Every structure is written in C-alpha cells, then in structure tokens.
Structure 1
C-alpha cells in the first residue's frame, strides 16, 4: 500500500496537500522483535504500517497484556504523546519484519498550522483511533471471550495465522487453556 493510499484512507486530501504531507514521510524497515514504542517515553513519531504486524501491550506486575494488533494499513501511534506530548503507557513490538512510513510529530504539527486540509486530516486520524479504542473497550466490557474470539475470526482471520496463541489469549483476556476450550467449542 502506498503512502498516498494510506493518507486517503484516513481522509482524502487535495493533491497539493497530500504531496506536502508526503514530503515529510520517510520509509523505515525494522526487524521482528524490535520495540517500536516503549512505555514511559514521549514518542516523537507516527508510523503507518506498509507491511508487517505489530502488537501493543502494557506490562502488569508479572505479565504482559496485549490490547491491540496492527497490520498493513494501520497506524502505530501513542495517542498520549500525539495529543498531549506526554509519556506513553504502551509498548509496541514488531511480530514480523516490518516496513513503515514514518512522520515526525513535530513536522506534522507544523503542517497542521500551515494547511487546514492537513489539520483536518490529523483530526480525522485522531477520531479514527478514538473509535477503534472505543470499539475495543465496548467489546471487552460487553462480550464474552467466545464472542470476542468469533469477532476476531470474522474481522481479522489472518491474525490467527500470524499471531501466537499466547498473544491472542492475552488480547481476549483469557488463559491459553481457556482459549483452547473456546477454539474446540467452535469446531
């Protein structure tokens, strides 16, 4: 997926604004296992996933809790850093070798000041991330683990081929043994 397609999927821009935004984007390749974002740091970049898979997780006492998977076309962003310029709470780890489009937050903020279309694009980016977060929260609060697993099967069946069952179980909020029971109950 090209950077132009990713930009337009968030919010279509006039060609001049899109070219202006693209001028600040660089391509980055990183290896599986790399930690893209670390908790308790102000993140200064936003990444758009061109190729590959990542997971966001938080550490809680003796375990990691996976709460998001990002794949081609998704945005890897610390909203806390992006919106409030404060330390993030999440870690983002590459589960596969990845290719990203990267833009520095300070450059994007400068573009917001100089181009209203890009400012609106940034607003739509933030709104889209808010809706995804809200949907995940509602799913966690109102669906059973089985329903969440079925939703994952229906909406992102490729993740089950690309992500370890331990991370899937963590994402669903269950143990691996419970996930095995859920999976066998669906067969």
Structure 2
C-alpha cells in the first residue's frame, strides 16, 4: 500500500494537511528477523507497513507470547510511548523483509498543535488502535482457540501462508500440537 492509501484509511485529510504530514514521513526497509521495537524502551516513532508482516510479543522466562500481527496498511506503534512518552511493554519483530513508512512522534505532536485536521487524524488513529486492543481482549476472554483460529481463516487468511505455525499457536494461546489438532479437525 502506498502512504496516501494508508493515511486515508485512518481519516481523510484535506490535501494540504496530508501533504504537511507526508513531509515528515520517510521510507525505511528492514530485513526479516529485525527487531523494530524493544520492550521497556520509549519508542519515539511509529510506522506504517507498506510491504511485509510483523508481530508484537512479550517475553516471559519460558518463551515469547505473540499477541498481534500486522501486515500491509497497518500501523506499528507502542501506544504507551505514543500517548505517554513511557517505555512500552511489547517488542516488534519483522517476520518478512519489510518496507515501512516511519514518522517521528515529536513531529506528529507538533503537527497536532498546528493543524486541527491532523489532530483529528491522530485521534482517529488512536481510536482505531484502541478498538483493535478491545477486540483482542474480548476474543481472548470469550472465544475458544478453535473459534479464534477460524477467525484467522475468515479475517486474516494470509497469516496462515506467511507466519510460522509456532507464532500462530502462541497468538492463539495454545501449543503447536494443539494447533495441529485444530487444523486436522477443520480439514
């Protein structure tokens, strides 16, 4: 996705506002396996995925727990850093070679103060991220792993082709053996 498509899916900006915002957006590329964000650090920027896929995870003493996947058109940010300028709890790993759009949070905050349209765009971005978090919590609390796997098939079928099964099992909160059983049951 190009940057105009990504920005527009969040909130349609007047052309002048969009151009002001785009002045601060740069393109970067990183290889598969790159750690884009580390837990317990303030992350002073956010990204939009032009091409590729990433995962957010938290580490325990035993393993990593994946709780989010992002692909083309989606935003990658640490909400805690974005909103409060405090260290986030998540790490972000790129699961494919990725082309990203990068925006410094400080530049975005300056634009919020200068342009009400960009401030509204930022509010819509935060609202969309909050809804994603709410949906994730509700799914984890009220759906079985089988139901969550069926949601992946229905809403994110690309994940099954692009992401290791170990990450998908972690995302579902189950072992790879349990995931294999679920996959066999669905076939």
Q: Does 1:33 align with 2:33?
A: yes
Distance across 1 between alignment mates of 2:2 and 2:147: 34
1:60 deviates by 1.2
2:128 matched to which residue of 1?
128
Question: Following superposition of structure 1 onto structure 2, how do residues 40-59 of structure 1 map, counting pairs within 5 Å?
Answer: 40-59=40-59
> SS of the counterpart of 1:6?
helix
2:13 matched to which residue of 1?
13
* RMSD of aligned Cα (Å): 0.4
Q: Normalising by structure 2, what TM-score?
A: 0.99
User: Displaced runs of 4+ in structure 1, greater than 4 A?
Assistant: none
1:62 deviates by 1.1
Distance across 1 between alignment mates of 2:2 and 2:186: 37
1:108 matched to which residue of 2?
108
2:73 matched to which residue of 1?
73
1:29 deviates by 0.6
Question: Following superposition of structure 1 onto structure 2, how do residues 145-184 of structure 1 map, counting pairs within 5 Å?
Answer: 145-184=145-184
1:90 matched to which residue of 2?
90
> SS of the counterpart of 1:139?
helix
Distance across 2 between alignment mates of 1:113 and 1:84: 17
1:4 deviates by 1.1
| Number of residue equivalences | 187
Q: Which runs of 5+ in 2 are unaligned?
A: none
1:43 deviates by 0.1
- 1:82-132 per-residue CA deviation (whole Å, 9 max, x = no partner) reads 000000100000000000000000000000000000000000000000000
> SS of the counterpart of 1:62?
coil
Distance across 2 between alignment mates of 1:149 and 1:3: 31
Distance across 2 between alignment mates of 1:164 and 1:31: 16
Distance across 2 between alignment mates of 1:5 and 1:84: 28
1:5 deviates by 1.1
2:117 matched to which residue of 1?
117
